[in-house]
Structure 1
Amino acid sequence: MTTTTKTQYPYRYDVVGSLLRPAALKVARTQFTQGKLTAEQLQAVQYRETQRVVNEQVQIGLRDVTDGEFNRSWWHLDFLWGLTGVGHYDYQQSYKFHGSQTRTDNADLVGKIACNPDHPFFKSFQYLQALVPDDVLVKQTIPSPTMLFRDNRSDNWPDFYPTWDAYLDDLAVAYHDTIQHFYDLGCRYLQLDDTTWAFLISQLNATKDDVVAHQKFVDLATDAVRVINQLLTGLPADLTVTTHICRGNFKSTYLFSGGYDDIADYLGQLHYDGLFLEYDSDRSGDFSPLKRIWNGDTNKRLILGLITSKFPELEDVADVEARIRDAAKQVPLANLGLSTQCGFASTEEGNQLTEEQQWAKLRLVKQIADDVWSD
């Protein structure tokens, strides 16, 4: 049922999504890949550990919680593999993180893209929904559709579509239908995670003197805006959809650097209810692009990722509060919030800190937000 009331998410203090995988889950997933555990036995471990971290998030006082992305190995690929028309192959290359190498899994088109009503993420969502108290919201995270037309994943689109635009139309419909299905199951808060914009920061700047090469990335940005806004059109009014602009997060390393200037106008066109923006290091630039990203939308919140999830040291409270005040020179304080810059385990390997240090980071996010905002 569609309503006209918009609930104000994201919250002043919010969780990005992924959490460190506990040892028991890592062992179970390894045993599963070795054929020593069945899928049902792996799921039993996943569910048990999910309940534990949900309880921890509730104890901290978070108003929305995630399942830590315990139902997946990668933040993006497991979801893409579950869509109709997407296959799994060995990329035979690691993603280019600074100082660390990933596994070589990837996804590609094997047919026309569509929502899969039996996508395993739906069952995981229903389990998570059953765990939370009535006054706590479930936040569902999935990768942005832009992740399917990057990194060679859509190279063979001509095998299935007469035009690139026809493919993008189907991709938008597949995502729209998937998100609608989450809504029908009870989801009211969903986040699309997206590294494409950080990729474009580096590429748009690097090609500014090469007209042909630059246009390729302008087209990618334009297509991204088109598909995202198309999939958001017609979703229920009481469903909040946000995005997290990610710069890469693997074993406490990163992929991309650069300020938001080159992509601010594109981000400002997106019809999201909120954007999570990484600002935990000088790699993110200053706050001046925030005004263009916010674009005067009084119903939109920008969540500042000022607390790093990469390292265990706790940030100085006064320093973080000063940075929030600085950001408020660009965007009204009422339209800002606080989070870690990313999740803690975009892949099952996780960042270089302990689980207790993870919880300390989230407690710090809430503490500072409570100091800065009264609502």
Structure 2
Amino acid sequence: MTKIHFHFDHVGSYLRPQELKEAREQFSEGKISQSDLLAVQDKLVKDLVHHEVENGLQVVSDGEFGRSWWHLDFLWNLTGLESYLQKDSYKFHGAKTRTTNVRINGKIAENPEHPFYRDFQYLKSITPEGVTPKVTIPSPSLLFRDNRSDQALDHYDTWEAYLDGLAQAYHDTILHFYDLGARYVQLDDTTWAFLIQQLSQGSAEEKAQAEKNAKDAVYLINKALENLPEDLTTATHICRGNFQSTYLFEGGYNVVAEYLGQLNYDIFFLEYDDSRSGDFSPLATIWNNRPNVELVLGVITSKKPELEDIDAVIARINEAAQTVPLENLGISTQCGFASTEEGNILTEEDEWKKLQLIKTITDKVWG
């Protein structure tokens, strides 16, 4: 193993405390200043980190408390991108989101004043010694969907030049986080779940486009990760959508496993909390290409408060260990608890019980 494998990890987002929700609303209404909002946010992030460490996590996040969306807040704060309101919302199974989106308005580049840098610096400052603070940002492949790249060729001579420019913006951003002390950066990605659905159910034309997008995503992501410092751990979370306990996509990883195995990540968070995720056979394809990888199985759901049966989860881990070595596996919730500020339909007490369950199982399986 060339990187530390914790076996017990968490995707990143946590339910927003009511105090934070009220402060964000007051800020949007002009009743408090940004410094007032950040003071509330910092206090609650400090409480969160305390609870994360108290529950046995060796990797902590800021819960994404400084953002409304898991992805859009990061993207529209890059140079060359802007937010706008689209006509339709995202169609989750049983729910609709807000209509916010992001689009290109110039050449894309790292923003040295990106607000996520400030949030990470605060997180690092309150993280206890021996614990790793984690950065979570969306994958650049998110720009392939929802009309986000429609204006790309208005600003770049070719599609390849656009991919290279986007990769460079991400590379520079990750290096900036590294310079601030980050040693663990995670890129969250719903694009692969979309491609799974297209490759499995789409028309011939849709399948051809999905294959092109998959190849472009591998090129783009690996270009962004190229020549990063050796002591930086990079991870990805392959997500099927998570909004108020609903989802966007379904389907097993088989049709994209070949592409996932080409991605130069150290850790893969993979959803495996229900039948939407398929079986464990694709793990072998990823591991065969990257034998030092850690595959974190999302066998605990963040969408419902009910606790999983310990013996049943251990049986699933042992099943996965027939495909790849046990030392290459870890477990987590399948996604965060609040991919948007609305959060999933469970309580803060519920989320800590979920993490306590994961710690109990981790101790039983890996000692």
TM-score normalised by the chain length of structure 1: 0.96
2:148 alignment partner in structure 1? 153
The AA in structure 2 aligned to 1:72 is: R
CA contact (8 A) 1:6 1:239 kept: no
CA contact (8 A) 1:141 1:191 kept: yes
For residues 14-51 of structure 1, the C-alpha deviation after alignment (integer angstroms, 9 at most, x for no partner) is 01100000000011111111222211111111111100
Give the Cα–Cα distance (whole angstroms) in 1 for the partners of residues 11 and 117 of structure 2: 19
1:300 alignment partner in structure 2? 293
1:370 alignment partner in structure 2? 363
1:29 alignment partner in structure 2? 24
1:309 alignment partner in structure 2? 302
The AA in structure 2 aligned to 1:327 is: A
1:17 alignment partner in structure 2? 12
Give the Cα–Cα distance (whole angstroms) in 2 for the partners of residues 39 and 264 of structure 1: 44
1:75 alignment partner in structure 2? 70
1:336 alignment partner in structure 2? 329
Give the Cα–Cα distance (whole angstroms) in 2 for the partners of residues 6 and 186 of structure 1: 20
Whether 1:204 and 2:196 are equivalent positions in the alignment is no
CA contact (8 A) 1:97 1:255 kept: yes
The AA in structure 2 aligned to 1:188 is: R
> What is the CA-CA distance between 1:206 and the residue it aligns to?
1.4
Give the Cα–Cα distance (whole angstroms) in 2 for the partners of residues 274 and 130 of structure 1: 25
Whether 1:356 and 2:352 are equivalent positions in the alignment is no
Give the Cα–Cα distance (whole angstroms) in 2 for the partners of residues 44 and 157 of structure 1: 38
Give the Cα–Cα distance (whole angstroms) in 2 for the partners of residues 8 and 298 of structure 1: 14
Q: Map 1:76-225 to 2 at 5 A.
A: 76-207=71-202, 210-225=203-218
Equivalent of residue 3 in structure 2, options 1, 7, 17: 7
Q: Map 1:28-47 to 2 at 5 A.
A: 28-47=23-42
For residues 31-75 of structure 1, the C-alpha deviation after alignment (integer angstroms, 9 at most, x for no partner) is 111222211111111111100100000111110100000010000
1:228 alignment partner in structure 2? 221
CA contact (8 A) 1:6 1:237 kept: no
2:277 alignment partner in structure 1? 284
296 and 111 in structure 1: CA distance in 2 versus 1, 3 angstrom threshold: closer
> What is the CA-CA distance between 1:295 and the residue it aligns to?
2.2
SS in 1 for 2:297: strand
The AA in structure 2 aligned to 1:92 is: K
SS in 2 for 1:42: helix
Give the Cα–Cα distance (whole angstroms) in 1 for the partners of residues 84 and 18 of structure 2: 27
For residues 337-369 of structure 1, the C-alpha deviation after alignment (integer angstroms, 9 at most, x for no partner) is 010000000000000000011001011111101
Q: Which runs of 4+ in 1 moved over 4 A?
A: none
Give the Cα–Cα distance (whole angstroms) in 1 for the partners of residues 122 and 185 of structure 2: 16
Give the Cα–Cα distance (whole angstroms) in 2 for the partners of residues 141 and 46 of structure 1: 17
SS in 1 for 2:57: coil
2:248 alignment partner in structure 1? 255
Matched length: 367
Gaps of 5+ in 2: none
For residues 103-157 of structure 1, the C-alpha deviation after alignment (integer angstroms, 9 at most, x for no partner) is 1100000100000111000010000000011111101100000112211011011
Give the Cα–Cα distance (whole angstroms) in 1 for the partners of residues 122 and 94 of structure 2: 37
Bigger mean CA deviation after superposition, 54-63 or 212-221: 212-221
1:271 alignment partner in structure 2? 264
CA contact (8 A) 2:261 2:290 kept: no
> What is the CA-CA distance between 1:296 and the residue it aligns to?
4.6
> What is the CA-CA distance between 1:12 and the residue it aligns to?
0.5
For residues 161-192 of structure 1, the C-alpha deviation after alignment (integer angstroms, 9 at most, x for no partner) is 01011000000000000000100100000100
> What is the CA-CA distance between 1:266 and the residue it aligns to?
0.6
Give the Cα–Cα distance (whole angstroms) in 2 for the partners of residues 296 and 97 of structure 1: 33
SS in 1 for 2:42: helix
CA contact (8 A) 2:140 2:167 kept: yes
TM-score normalised by the chain length of structure 2: 0.98
CA contact (8 A) 1:139 1:189 kept: yes
Give the alignment's Cα RMSD to 1 decimal.
1.0
> What is the CA-CA distance between 1:6 and the residue it aligns to?
4.0
Equivalent of residue 345 in structure 1, options 334, 338, 351: 338
CA contact (8 A) 2:199 2:211 kept: yes
> What is the CA-CA distance between 1:197 and the residue it aligns to?
0.3
1:243 alignment partner in structure 2? 236
> What is the CA-CA distance between 1:79 and the residue it aligns to?
0.2
